[in-house]
């Protein structure tokens, strides 16, 4: 159950068709996931969201593609975003993640959950050694 109704035949709108074509070309695949069909209820929102996803996830990068998906999934887990967890876990698999790596990812995410709660409880002062502000660039 969604809070919006995706438009029928979204690609009859030329602005939407252009964005969907760019999604297909950028990803080298005909598959367009539900997110984009639903966002098509407002073309500006669709356009801005795709522009941002494309500029971060599909550009030449200083991190490898699987790592980027794991970072994305890690944030999504902590934010309880069910759709994002499924889409970025699937994307990490598509970019080479095997079961051993996924199990290790899960062990890191759950350890972080553990120590985040521990430190949010006891409020340990941050060590000055961790400070990078005002260091020479």
- Per CB under 8 A, contacts with a copy of itself among 32-91 are 33-35, 38-39, 41-42, 44-45, 48-49, 52-53, 55-57, 61-63, 67-68, 70-90
Q: Residue 11 has which token pair?
A: 């690609």
Hey, which residues between 93 and 122 contact a copy of itself (CB under 8 A)? Answer: 93, 98-122
Gap between the Cα atoms of 7 and 3, Å rounded: 13
Out of 4, 15, 18, 96, the only residue in the binding site for a copy of itself (CB under 8 A) is: 4
Neighbouring C-beta atoms of residue 86, cutoff 10 Å:
13
Hey, which residues between 8 and 37 contact a copy of itself (CB under 8 A)? Answer: 31, 33-35
CB 10 within 8 A of CB 20: yes
**Smallest gap, in angstroms, from Cβ of residue 123 to a copy of itself?**
5
Gap between the Cα atoms of 107 and 61, Å rounded: 26
């Amino acid at each position: 159950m969604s809070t919006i109704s995706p438009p029928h035949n979204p690609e009859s709108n030329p602005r939407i068709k252009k964005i969907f074509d760019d999604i297909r070309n950028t990803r080298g695949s005909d598959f367009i996931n539900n997110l984009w069909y639903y966002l098509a209820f407002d073309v500006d929102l669709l356009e801005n969201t795709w522009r941002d996803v494309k500029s971060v996830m599909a550009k030449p990068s200083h991190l490898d593609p699987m790592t980027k998906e794991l970072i994305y999934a890690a944030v999504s887990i902590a934010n309880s975003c069910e759709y994002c967890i499924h889409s970025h876990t699937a994307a990490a698999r598509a970019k080479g993640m095997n079961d051993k790596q996924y199990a290790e990812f899960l062990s890191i995410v759950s350890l972080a959950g553990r120590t985040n709660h521990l430190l949010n409880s006891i409020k340990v002062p941050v060590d000055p050694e961790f400070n990078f502000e005002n260091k020479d660039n």
